[in-house]
Amino acid sequence: MAARQTRGKHKVKIKNTKRFFLSSALSLLILILIFAVIYSKLGSKKSSDLKNTNKNTSLENKTTKKDNSSKTKEETKKEDYTEILINSVGDCTIGTDTKFSYSTSLPCIVEKNNNDLSYLFKNVSSIFKQDDLTIANLETTFTNATQKKQKTFNFKADPSYAKSLTLGSIEAVNISNNHIYDYLNKGFQDTKKALEDEKILYFGEGEKVIKNIKGENFGLLGYQAWSDSKEFLNKLKKDIDELKSKNCTVIINFHWGVERQYTPNAAQKNIAHFAIDNGADLIIGHHPHVVQSIEKYKDKIICYSLGNFCFGGNSNPSDKDTFILGTKFKFKNHTLQGYETKVIPCSVSSKNNVNDYCPTPVKGSEKERILNKIRNLSPTYKTNIKDEFIPIAKQ
């Protein structure tokens, strides 16, 4: 009986032990499953975060690459620099007055040189051929008209003489002066026709020129500027504004002043300053038949008078001094940064004792004499007056 009870207790103990192990195993399995689910969710989130991180990193890399690429393009982009050389000369009276002695006249000298019209500018054409534009004051008419204005001097030449400009490498002329109507409107129209036939640009007397050189616009204006009246200044400002609105560097030729006077008068100064105040970039003057001062004003240049150049108006002028004003315009990304000037001293004649109508650069002591003459007339610019390009110092 006692043995049977002992065996029964032993069976119950074994059964309870099995239940304990089974319960523990089940609990462990449940825990493992719970941990597996949690780990799975955490792993999924980590993977998602990693993907997002990679995506963001990739996007940042792309953006960085794009930014670096843009910077590289900007850094490697070359600045656009342009230099343009323009030469200006004074009174070119290509012709004669019929009252003058023919034997000493310009047409006679051309005839003696085999009627070769290249003779007139043969000693300076090599200079003009090296520039981008040469501008002269054309103080004559190209006409065969006979009816003329009642005045002291009336200048003309056969229309074929316009070719002398082409042969001399002069591409543009101012026609606004006191001799363009010497043979009335007929002479004026004939002159324009002769210039057009030679493809010479002309400006003044209501004509404006816009010429594109190496991608830069230049606007050319010309006036007879005897008075600084309000009416004239208003007209001048309007014309400058028009050219500036078309992105032009503005060069103005003024025919003004008093003959044989070496210093500009008050009206010349007022007009020149007004023009620069309103946007003009370079002022070129003529009419006095002698050289006048060069003035620096607001980092721009006013050349009050270049004097005569190829001058058929006098067979032996007492003052034969003249010069070529070279102006080298400097652009950066199509914006004018400034310019340099060069003065090339010349004589209106290749001979000292007579006018042979062949303007010629001078050398040695004559060159220094003319340079010093212009320097002495030009207190605001004297140190820059040299036969080499000198930058205009900023004020």
Q: How far apart are CA 165 and CA 86, in angstroms?
A: 16
CATH of 81-391 among 2.60.40, 1.10.287, 3.60.21, 1.10.10: 3.60.21
pTM over 0.85: no
Tokens of 16: 């309870």
Q: How far apart are CA 176 and CA 180, in angstroms?
A: 7
| Non-local CB neighbours of 17 within 8 Å, separated by 6+ positions | none
Residues 202-223, mean pLDDT to the nearest whole number:
98
| Non-local CB neighbours of 281 within 8 Å, separated by 6+ positions | 249, 250, 251, 300, 336, 339
pLDDT digits (tens, 9 = 90+) for 315-360: 999 999 999 999 999 999 999 999 999 999 999 999 999 999 999 9
Query: In the prediction, which pLDDT does 79 show?
Result: 86
Q: How far apart are CA 95 and CA 67, in angstroms?
A: 67
Please state, for a pLDDT cut of 90, what percent of the chain lies above it. 79
Query: In the prediction, which pLDDT does 78 show?
Result: 78
Residues 359-388, mean pLDDT to the nearest whole number:
97
Asked if the model's pLDDT at residue 6 lies above 70, the reply is no
Q: Where are the domains of the chain?
A: 1-77, 81-391
Angle at 225 between CA 287 and CA 349, to 5 degrees: 15
For 322: left if phi > 0, alpha if psi spans -120 to 50, otherwise beta; the answer is beta
Question: 39 or 380, which is more confident?
Answer: 380
Query: In the prediction, which pLDDT does 62 show?
Result: 44
pLDDT band at 70 (very low <50, low <70, confident <90, very high): low
Instruction: Look at the alpha carbons of 28, 32, 37, 42 in this order and tell me if their dihedral is positive or negative.
Output: positive
Asked if the model's pLDDT at residue 8 lies above 90, the reply is no
pLDDT digits (tens, 9 = 90+) for 214-249: 999 999 999 999 999 999 999 999 999 999 999 999
Q: How far apart are CA 172 and CA 202, in angstroms?
A: 6
Asked if the model's pLDDT at residue 40 lies above 60, the reply is no
Amino acid identity of residue 166, one-letter, is T
pLDDT band at 172 (very low <50, low <70, confident <90, very high): very high
Q: How far apart are CA 25 and CA 189, in angstroms?
A: 121
Asked if the model's pLDDT at residue 192 lies above 50, the reply is yes
Mean pLDDT of the chain: 88
Asked if the model's pLDDT at residue 34 lies above 80, the reply is no
Most distant CA pair in the chain, distance? 176
pLDDT band at 19 (very low <50, low <70, confident <90, very high): low
Query: In the prediction, which pLDDT does 63 show?
Result: 47
Q: How far apart are CA 76 and CA 70, in angstroms?
A: 10
